[in-house]
Amino acid sequence: MSAGTGSDNLPWWATAVLLPVINVVLALIVSAIVILAIGEDPLGAMWTMVQGALGTSEGLGYTLYYATSLIFTALAVAVAFHGGLFNIGGEGQAYLGGLGVGLVCLAVGDMPWYLVLPLSVLGGAAFGGLWGAIPGYLQAYRGSHVVITTIMFNFIASSLMVYLMVNVLIRPGQMSPESAQFDKATFLPLVQDMAAAIGIQMNPSPLNFSLFLALAACVLVWAFIWHTRWGFALRTVGANENAARYAGIDPKKVIIIAMALSGALAGLLGVNEIHGVQHRLLLNFPAGMGFTGIAVALMGRNHPAGIVPAAILFGMLYQGGTELIFDYPSISRELVVVIQGVVILFAGALEHMFRPALVRLFTPKPAGV
Amino acid sequence: MHAVTVTPAPHSAPKPAHEWAVELVGIDKRFGPVHANKDVTLRFAPASIHGLVGENGAGKSTLMSILYGFYQADSGQILVRGREVAIKGSQDAIGLGIGMVHQHFMLVETFTVLENLLLGHEGGPLLAPAVARARKEVEALERTFGLEVPLDALVSDLPVGVQQRVEILKALYRGADVLILDEPTAVLSPPEVAQLFRILERLRAEGRTVVLITHKLKEIMAITDHVSVLRRGAVVAEFATAETNRQQLADAMVGRKANLEVEKAPAAAGPVLLAAEGVNVVDARGVTTLKNASLTVRAGEIVGVAGVAGNGQSELLEVLSGMLPFASGTLTIKGETLKAGSAYDPADARRRGLAHVPEDRLKLAVVKEFPAAQSAILGYHDDKPLGRGWRLDWKRVTAKTAELMERFDVRPRDPSLRTALFSGGNQQKLVMAREMEKEPDILLVGQPTRGVDIGAIAFIHKQLVGLRDRGKAILLVSAELDEIMALSDRILVMCDGEIVGELSAAEATESRIGSMMAGVSAGEEQ
């Protein structure tokens, strides 16, 4: 009797495409009402946002630069999620990851960037991974919930970075807590320069080689989770820890590895931000990307194929929002945050609001009733 | 093969409508494409015990949930004492004098019995007057029905049999005239079952109606007056219990001739493949849950472990399969001895040729959210042929699963279907297929037929006997005494974490095993 028709079996595209689209449209409608309420033209404002995010090569560059960071932090959330863990510590892991990247770049001197990149990736992954693995260990062996410990580790990371930047890594004879600049040879190439080399003209933006690293990470994460024995063990622990134990998988080990991988991915944000753009260590460079990554992962259904478009959407919100503030004096920075918040609310927190209605719509009605 | 005879129950001769305690007329219920109840008409006579049998998914639970107000029927009527009623929730059902004792008790473990009975009937802001009133009323009920329960004991301190009596008392205290019991004997030892039956008879004598849902045909024959058989959502047969027999009921349940007996030749036991010597398990609270367990299982024999659930059988299985560490003693697997503290885990056990079909299928043996093909490699995902290096090759996994499904008749034969969407019997066949695939030298089996329908039971039993005949050692833990007695060559009985006795198949009788299972309480019985 139990053919493939569970009561909540939606076609895959309804879950993966239709539902997020409905949620985003609804979020935009609510945002439009808010813009209308402060006396601005919502359609014009929306157009400004889209135009600002995609309309120019500069805007597109910024959008994709933000998306690059978000892909890393969202993949971090996704890997932990498949192991049944909710890693809220992306922000702190990214912060520490950036420290690792920065230390590598400071140490290597004038090595060319393509030799530095593998080292800075390792540095970012190692520092971020360690910052994720500690809460993982505490969860596995001490029963301290990762949701709590990763939040605490965000604060610890923040304080640690302030201490290091102010007391240890600061460039002597300078007021602001920033390290010395890396050698020019180590800078990751900007996409505008790469485009120029093949004859495409782009306006300056911070978009750099890290974008390709992020896309490669998507493919690797996908292959890891769904096509390796480790990924199978990870998903088994996430879905049913008892069954994992029965299967001879040690959930403690898997939890630590999952958190380490998750932290490592978040740590790669440092490659984009520190190695790719800032070229020195400084404070507060993750800028909330670690938290927004949670919303991106939720919206992207914890799958790389969903995370990429979701990251681009949020990149558009960041970049388009900046344009909006320029063009509309009555729209403040805070209102852009409101719009971003509404999208997160509908896409993340309320993601299942329309699910029952869709299920009713898609369940074949039995004949004769 | 004789066809199933649908004999009208003798009480179906025309009578005034109010002579029925409850009538379900033309009940129809669908869940999406699943037709759970098809035009079901059932009538329960007052002062009677009515049995309701059927395989899993036959629609028994749906029907009773409709009567108790959890679901609304798509069409049909419910009549209580001749009057048509609408039951929109369990409060309505209770108001109409319908009570239900669930398979899993709905009691607050940290409350006393009296506090549990009082829940929802406090009748005012102050507790003391209500408690005094309830105590008087409950004591009266206890005398009437011969239900003895220590009113001031914490529920968590009571044995399951007594907890069940609390549930019955709770229903009666709320004025239940019709009492529905869902698989009430699943957790009871034979003496407790006898006690329960005495209570049910007393209820009948006092004019109450009892509806007994069970899949144990022996119990139906022992206590009911009438029995209705459901198959695929419809009533396919009704009998006066005195005019039917187990075989006839079983045939009606499965719709064809059911094989109730297990055919097997005498065992040809070989060398000892699995042995435990003085094994103790201490849990996190410091309680010794398995005490000084010693046993041997030889090649070519099935050793059954009988016992009321929760008396150390689960710990025994988990220790032997490497899931649980042991505090002292030794295990010997195919001649290799392991001491307490030595590295031994389920992956290691599998490498040594020991396979394990766990007791709790959904908790341990499968991952409900995974497609069947992924549940079918649980525990074997590191096997070389399933992939290359780190990679898992889903084509090979799917092909392997399709092969297992074919061999063990798992339906539907769809490796990509979510595990949760298979019926219990088909999930179990998939697990058996996975664990027997490698021809393990030692097979540990817990509750192989729990929640499995009759057709699949016979198949699973045949597979187990087949493995034994191929010279493998099998340790069987089951709460079904009939299953233990039908399959085992030797029987160990557990009580309170200890192996309290061993019987050969020849000397095992239900009453001997039953009194050993009950431990000291055997003396109190009768």
The domain spans of chain B are: 1-97+177-256, 105-175, 299-324+341-524
**Mean pLDDT, chain B, integer:** 87
More confident residue, B283 or A257: A257
Q: Which of residues 214-233 of B touch A (CB under 8 A)?
A: 232
Determine how β-strand B34-44 pairs with β-strand B22-31.
Answer: antiparallel
Residue A333 at interface with chain B, using a CB cutoff of 8 Å: no
Residue at token pair 């103790």: B280
Cβ(B300)–Cβ(B239) under 8 Å?
A: no
SS3 of residue B246 by DSSP: helix
Indicate if the alpha-carbon torsion angle A150, A226, B414, B377 is positive or negative. Answer: negative
pLDDT confidence of residue A1 = 31
pLDDT confidence of residue A9 = 61
Residue A364 at interface with chain B, using a CB cutoff of 8 Å: yes
d(CA B378, CA B365): 8
- The fold of B1-97+177-256 is Rossmann fold (3.40.50)
pLDDT band at B513 (very low <50, low <70, confident <90, very high): confident
pLDDT band at B521 (very low <50, low <70, confident <90, very high): very low
The phi and psi torsions of B209 (rounded to 5 degrees) equal: -105, 135
Beta-strand runs (E) in B127-265? 178-182, 209-213, 226-231, 234-240
Shortest CB distance from B417 goes to which of A4, A242, A245?
A4
pLDDT at residue B343 tops 90? no
Question: What is the percentage of chain A residues whose pLDDT exceeds 90?
Answer: 72
pLDDT at residue B516 tops 50? yes
pLDDT per residue over B265-316, tens digit each?
888 889 999 999 999 999 877 888 899 999 999 999 999 999 877 788 999 9
- Interface probe, candidates A226, A232, A253, chain B, greatest B C-beta count within 10 A: A232
d(CA B508, CA B506): 6
How far is C-alpha B53 from the chain's CA centre? 14
Residue B352 at interface with chain A, using a CB cutoff of 8 Å: no
pLDDT at residue B499 tops 80? yes
Cβ(B164)–Cβ(B489) under 8 Å?
A: no
pLDDT confidence of residue B380 = 94
Interchain CB distance below 8 Å, B392 and A229: yes
pLDDT confidence of residue B258 = 65
pLDDT band at B61 (very low <50, low <70, confident <90, very high): confident
- Interface probe, candidates A229, A235, A363, chain B, greatest B C-beta count within 10 A: A229
**A209 Cα to chain B: minimum distance (Å):** 29
Shortest CB distance from B391 goes to which of A1, A227, A248?
A227
pLDDT per residue over A92-149, tens digit each?
999 999 999 999 999 998 999 999 999 999 999 999 999 999 999 999 999 999 999 9
pLDDT at residue A165 tops 90? yes
CATH code 3.40.50.300 for B299-324+341-524: yes
Task: Taking residues B96-107, report their average pLDDT.
Answer: 87
Q: Which of residues 376-405 of B touch A (CB under 8 A)?
A: 377-379, 381-382, 387, 390-392, 394
- ipTM, two decimals, is 0.84
Determine how β-strand B226-231 pairs with β-strand B234-240.
Answer: antiparallel
A240 vs B contacts (CB less than 8 Å): 363, 367-369
Task: Taking residues B436-445, report their average pLDDT.
Answer: 94
B354 vs A contacts (CB less than 8 Å): none
pLDDT confidence of residue B255 = 78
pLDDT at residue A368 tops 50? no
Residue A234 at interface with chain B, using a CB cutoff of 8 Å: no
pLDDT per residue over A314-333, tens digit each?
999 999 999 998 888 888 88
pLDDT at residue A244 tops 80? yes
Residue A175 at interface with chain B, using a CB cutoff of 8 Å: no
pLDDT at residue B17 tops 70? no
Cβ(B303)–Cβ(B492) under 8 Å?
A: yes
pLDDT at residue B351 tops 90? yes
The H or E element spanning position B98 is strand B98-101
**Most distant CA pair in chain B: distance in Å?**
75
More confident residue, A218 or A26: A218
For A324-336, letters b (16+ CB in 10 Å) and e give bbeebeebeeebb
Q: Which residue of A has its CA nearest to B56?
A: A1
**Mean pLDDT, chain A, integer:** 90
pLDDT confidence of residue B259 = 65
Q: How many Cβ atoms are within 10 Å of B362's Cβ, its own excluded? A: 16
Question: What is the percentage of chain B residues whose pLDDT exceeds 90?
Answer: 51
Residue at token pair 């410091």: B286
Structure tokens at B203: 């209820």
pLDDT per residue over B410-431, tens digit each?
988 899 999 988 878 889 999 9
pLDDT confidence of residue A172 = 86
Residue at token pair 């879905």: A239
Cβ(B262)–Cβ(B461) under 8 Å?
A: yes
d(CA B517, CA B499): 10
Q: Which of residues 41-60 of A touch B (CB under 8 A)?
A: none
Structure tokens at A243: 């069954």
d(CA B380, CA B404): 14
